[in-house]
Amino acid sequence: MLIRPCNHSYPERHRVCDIEVDGKYYRILRCVTCSERLAFEQIREESACTSVLGLPLWLTGEHLRRWVANEKKLQTQMSEHLEVTDGLQWSSGKPVERWVGTDEEYDRLQRERAVSEREILDTARALQSRKEQSDRQLLNPQVHP
């Protein structure tokens, strides 16, 4: 049985990864608004990408919400330079958008996005490994003579 995805949209609802089971392809999605719940959606083979992961599962809570807020801000900035064309994306039925800003503006926004995304991931990863370390210590307490 599949847990069906909600109707929230990106970036609240985002891709975690794509998997192949018995020749069928599924996307694992997570929605921040729905208590970070995971959902499975069957997708076409052409839109599956099993070799590249989406947002890491260990990015949770406050840091995940920061990533969402950041991504939303960037989308708003980008939308000022997007023009809706008359085409529809065959996979989702959503209108196709075309970038009409300058190349410099596009590069700047993408660079900003990469830097802040890396900061959020690095901080979250550091906290995660500190937590794992203290969990290990709890499970295997050092014996002091």
| Tokens 């998997």 found at | 19
Is residue 82 a contact point for Zn ion (CB under 5 A)?
no
Q: Minimum CB separation from Zn ion for residue 9, in Å?
A: 9
C-alpha 15/C-alpha 40 separation (Å) is: 10
Give least dist CB 28 to Zn ion, A: 14
Return the structure tokens found at 132. 């794992």
- Closest CB to Zn ion among residues 40, 81: 40
Sequence-ordered list of residues with C-beta below 8 angstroms from that of 88, at least 6 positions apart, any chain: 94, 95, 96
Tell me the C-alpha distance between 101 and 78, whole Å: 9
Residues between 17 and 46 that touch Zn ion (CB under 5 A): 31, 33-34
At closest approach, how far in Å is the CB of 29 from Zn ion?
9
Judged by beta carbon, residue 34 or residue 43, the one nearer Zn ion is 34
Candidate ranges 8-16, 99-107, 121-129, 137-145; the one touching Zn ion (CB under 5 A): 8-16
User: Distance between terminal CA atoms of the chain?
Assistant: 54
Q: Tell whether residue 8 is a contact of Zn ion (CB under 5 A).
A: yes
Instruction: Return the number of the residue (8 or 113) whose C-beta is nearest Zn ion.
Output: 8
Under the binding rule (CB under 5 A), the answer on residue 49 touching Zn ion is: no
The 10 Å Cβ neighbour count of residue 84 is 11
Our CB check for Zn ion shows the closer of 34 and 48 to be: 34
With beta carbons less than 8 A apart as the criterion, state whether 121 and 70 touch.
no
Structure tokens at 6: 């909600």
Question: Where on the chain is the footprint of Zn ion (CB under 5 A)?
Answer: 6, 8, 31, 33-34
